[in-house]
Structures are given as structure tokens and as C-alpha cells.
């Protein structure tokens, strides 16, 4: 195999730098490099790619509440967000190894996680809820699920919590929430459970317009925060200030309406939250 001389490769890469970095796997706009504390204008942000209403990648487009929050914060920091997928099991590692500058991905603030990474926020307080068909009036909460078929993702904490506390519930598990939603619309199951934000995102999708609704009776509390590398007080304070401005200016409510309005979703108790002081 004939090898390309290093000098030619370097020249080619330099010429293409205006469009992208050679070998870089970033997306979302802005020049690669620099990071949150570097000299460049890029902010490497981890989001979910598969949660309608929260973090969704479709082609080269990104949408959702978390995406809009990330864009707002990045703008306040004078940065351009570059989005990458941040799967739940990998979030701490992505921050600890310096692969990402921040994560905005339905990332609940917990004491265990705070031992490994930093958090700014909360910027939203979610709660476990139920998604049902719009003509369903009997299901008003977990205590009304007796004899009903409840759907969730295999091994998920939300589904197991309901099953443990309400053993008469028939639990149906699938690999994805999208499959649960399909079965709910088809009438195979009676309800789907997970965080209310995720449920509202599905109900807001055009193909489910008028077919699904969130019950609106949360029975847990999840404080979503922006994940950051641990012990970076300066960065944490800047992000916290941006979140406070987003909430106080009314921009937070606009973002909620834009992403969940079609589902008629109203954030539960504690919203909008007051971001805690860093440190």
C-alpha cells in the first residue's frame, strides 16, 4: 500500500481546517479544540441522541429541552456547542477523562455522582410519571394500575419501583421507550412510566399528537443538573450564573413551551428551580 508523505497530509489538513479538523469527530458548529477553559470557541457538550423533547439527533439536527439549555449556556460563556452522545453509563467517564466539557442529558444530581464529577443546577426538577392514551381516565397514578399492563425499559428503576410497591401491576418490558410508546398507542399496554420530561417529549411528537397524555401526578423527584469536571469552581460558577439568568429572564419558560407545549405538559412542583451555589 502506497503511503502518503507526511508533509502532503499536513498541508491537506491545514487547507481543510476551515471546514473541519482532520480526524475530528465533533459536530454542532464552531471550530474544534479549545474546550471550556481553552482559547478556542468550542464547548464540547454531551447530550442524549434518542430522547424526543429532551435530546434528539435527527440527521445533522439536534433538538430538545436539554439541547436548548446547552445552547443558551454556551452562548452566555461565549462558546459554540459541539454535541456528542453521552450514554448514561458513560457520563462520569466522559467528564473525568476530559473528553467532554459538560453534559446536559437528563443527568440527575446525586451524592454518589458528586463524588466523581461536578454539577451546576438544578435547571429542572423532573418526577416519575405515567403516559397513557388520551381517552384513558381511570389511570391517575401508580395506585390505580392494579390489573393494568405497565411498560418500561428492561431493568429500569422506574418500572421496578412501581412493581415493588404495586405487585398487582403487570409489567411489560422492552429494550427502548420508543417500543413502549408504539405498544401504548396500539393498545397492547395501558401505561408507560419514566421521567415526566421524557414522557412529555414522546407525547409532543407529531405522530402522537392528540393520542397520548402525561397523567401529571409525579411520585419521585429527579434534579437535573449540568455535569462538569470535578473541582472546577470557576467553570461551575459561570454555568450557574448562566442558568440563573436563563430562569430569571423567562427564557427557561420559553424553552419549556417550545419543547413540550404540544403535549400540554406543565412542569411539576419546584419548577422553575433555583440553581444552588457552587462549592
Is 70 exceeded by the pLDDT of residue 85?
A: yes
Q: Is the residue at 1 inside a domain?
A: no
CA distance 40 to 56: 26
Q: Is the residue at 10 inside a domain?
A: no
> 120 and 38, same structural domain?
yes
> 231 and 148, same structural domain?
no
Q: Which three cell numbers stand for residue 64?
A: 430538545
Which 3-state string (H, E, C) describes 159-220? HHHHHHHCCCCEEEEECCHHHHHHHHHHCCCCEEEEEHHHHHHHHCCHHHCCCEEECCCCCC
Q: Is the residue at 90 inside a domain?
A: yes
Q: Which three cell numbers stand for residue 182?
A: 408504539
Q: What is the pLDDT of residue 38?
A: 47
Question: Which of 196, 214, 232 corresponds to the end of one domain?
Answer: 214
> 245 and 205, same structural domain?
no
Domain span including residue 82? 26-126+223-263
Q: What is the mean pLDDT of residues 44-50?
A: 95
Q: Is the residue at 184 inside a domain?
A: yes
pLDDT in tens, 142-194: 999 999 999 988 867 787 788 788 888 998 988 888 899 999 999 999 999 99
Q: Is the residue at 6 inside a domain?
A: no
Q: Is the residue at 81 inside a domain?
A: yes
> 245 and 113, same structural domain?
yes
CB count, 10 Å around CB of 106?
24
Q: What is the pLDDT of residue 33?
A: 38
For helices 251-260 and 196-203, the axis angle rounded to 10 degrees is 60
pLDDT cut 70: percent of the chain above it = 85
Structural domain total, the chain: 2
Q: What is the pLDDT of residue 21?
A: 33
> 186 and 101, same structural domain?
no
Identity of the highest mean pLDDT range in 31-45, 164-178, 226-240: 226-240
> 136 and 122, same structural domain?
no
Q: How confident is the model at residue 279 (pLDDT cuts 50, 70, 90)?
A: low
Q: What is the mean pLDDT of residues 69-88?
A: 96
Q: Is the residue at 16 inside a domain?
A: no
> 111 and 230, same structural domain?
yes
Q: How confident is the model at residue 124 (pLDDT cuts 50, 70, 90)?
A: very high
> 259 and 194, same structural domain?
no
* Average model confidence (pLDDT) across the chain: 85
CA distance 166 to 96: 39
For helices 251-260 and 65-76, the axis angle rounded to 10 degrees is 150
> 85 and 207, same structural domain?
no
> 155 and 88, same structural domain?
no
> 202 and 64, same structural domain?
no
> 208 and 243, same structural domain?
no
Is 60 exceeded by the pLDDT of residue 8?
A: no
CB count, 10 Å around CB of 64?
27
Q: What is the pLDDT of residue 162?
A: 80
CATH number at residue 73: 3.40.190.10
Q: Is the residue at 269 inside a domain?
A: no
Amino acid at each position: 500500500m502506497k503511503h502518503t508523505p507526511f508533509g502532503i497530509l499536513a498541508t491537506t489538513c491545514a487547507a481543510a481546517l476551515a471546514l473541519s479538523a482532520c480526524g475530528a469527530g465533533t459536530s454542532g458548529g464552531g471550530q474544534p479544540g479549545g474546550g471550556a477553559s481553552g482559547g478556542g470557541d468550542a464547548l464540547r457538550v454531551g447530550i442524549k441522541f434518542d430522547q424526543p423533547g429532551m435530546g434528539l439527533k435527527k440527521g445533522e439536527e439536534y433538538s430538545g429541552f436539554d439541547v436548548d439549555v446547552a445552547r443558551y449556556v454556551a452562548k452566555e460563556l461565549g462558546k459554540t456547542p459541539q454535541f456528542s452522545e453521552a450514554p448514561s453509563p458513560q457520563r462520569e467517564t466522559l467528564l473525568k477523562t476530559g473528553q467532554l466539557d459538560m453534559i446536559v442529558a437528563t443527568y440527575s444530581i446525586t451524592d454518589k455522582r458528586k463524588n466523581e464529577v461536578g454539577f451546576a443546577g438544578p435547571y429542572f426538577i423532573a418526577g416519575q410519571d405515567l403516559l397513557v392514551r388520551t381517552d384513558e381516565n381511570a389511570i391517575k397514578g401508580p395506585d390505580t394500575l392494579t390489573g393494568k399492563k405497565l411498560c418500561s425499559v428492561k431493568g429500569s428503576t422506574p418500572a421496578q419501583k412501581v412493581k415493588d410497591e404495586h405487585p398487582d401491576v403487570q409489567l411489560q418490558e422492552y429494550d427502548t421507550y420508543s417500543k413502549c410508546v408504539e405498544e401504548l398507542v396500539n393498545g397492547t399496554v395501558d401505561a408507560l412510566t419514566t421521567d415526566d420530561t421524557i414522557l412529555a417529549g414522546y407525547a409532543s411528537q407529531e405522530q402522537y399528537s392528540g393520542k397520548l397524555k402525561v397523567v401529571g401526578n409525579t411520585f419521585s423527584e429527579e434534579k437535573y443538573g449540568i455535569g462538569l469536571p470535578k473541582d472546577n469552581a470557576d467553570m461551575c460558577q459561570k454555568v450557574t450564573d448562566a442558568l440563573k439568568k436563563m430562569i430569571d429572564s423567562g427564557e427557561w419558560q420559553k424553552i419549556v413551551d417550545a419543547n413540550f407545549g404540544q403535549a400540554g405538559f406543565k412542569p411539576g412542583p419546584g419548577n422553575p428551580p433555583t440553581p444552588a451555589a457552587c462549592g
